[in-house]
Amino acid sequence: MRSMAIFSPCPNLRRIAAILVVVSLAMPAVVGAQDTPVSRATLKGIKAVEVLVGDIDRDTEQEGLTRAHLQTEVEERLRQAGITVSPSSEGVLYVSVVAARGDLNIYAYSLQVAFRQAVTLTRDPTIGAVVTTWSVGSGGTIAAPRLGRVQSLAINLVDQFIHAYLEENPKI
């Protein structure tokens, strides 16, 4: 009986898959928050949001995807939509970009946009916590020269937040 080699169109496919697993595990876990009618309802009455972009690793920033630029673009996008951006707000719009460089100049990335706000327990209003009440995310792989496209993908997720927010807080 002869041994058969398994053909893989990408010799580094296992490494890329491993990187995707690592990136997905590095993302902050969000349990139960999505873009649903119930999660959208938690945005009703929010007057302002604070924007917080998570740390982006040095390699990713050297490829042109910087935390400062993403922070500025997210804030501008919210303001253009008529949403007040303020550090003393009722909640935080958290934008996470996790990217890891693999072989062949390919990055695996994971994106998340989440709205976090203070809540209290109905059974005991003295107990409160800051939790994620709305979120969306995505991930994939991209060639290093196109890594800047990941910022556009993150902004698309921010646009989903804007749509959800404006649906619950229509301008009169």
SS3 annotation, the chain: CCCCCCCCCCCCHHHHHHHHHHHHHHCCCCCCCCCCHHHHHCCCCCCEEEEEECCCCHHHHHCCCCHHHHHHHHHHHHHHCCCEECCCCCEEEEEEEEEEECHHHEEEEEEEEEEEEEEECCCCCCCEEEEEEEEEEEEEEEEHHHCHHHHHHHHHHHHHHHHHHHHHCCCC
Mean per-residue pLDDT for 19-37?
58
Q: Which fold has domain 34-164?
A: Double Stranded RNA Binding Domain (3.30.160)
Q: Is the pLDDT of residue 3 over 50?
A: no
What pLDDT is attached to residue 171?
82
Question: Residue 60 to residues 55, 70, 71, 143, 153: CA-CA distances in angstroms?
Answer: 10, 12, 15, 12, 15
Q: Which two tokens stand for residue 133?
A: 């009440």
Domain boundaries defined on the chain: 34-164
Q: Is the pLDDT of residue 70 over 70?
A: yes
What pLDDT is attached to residue 104?
87
What pLDDT is attached to residue 54?
96
Parallel, antiparallel, or unpaired: how do β-strands 106-120 and 91-101 relate? Answer: antiparallel
Q: Is the pLDDT of residue 11 over 90?
A: no
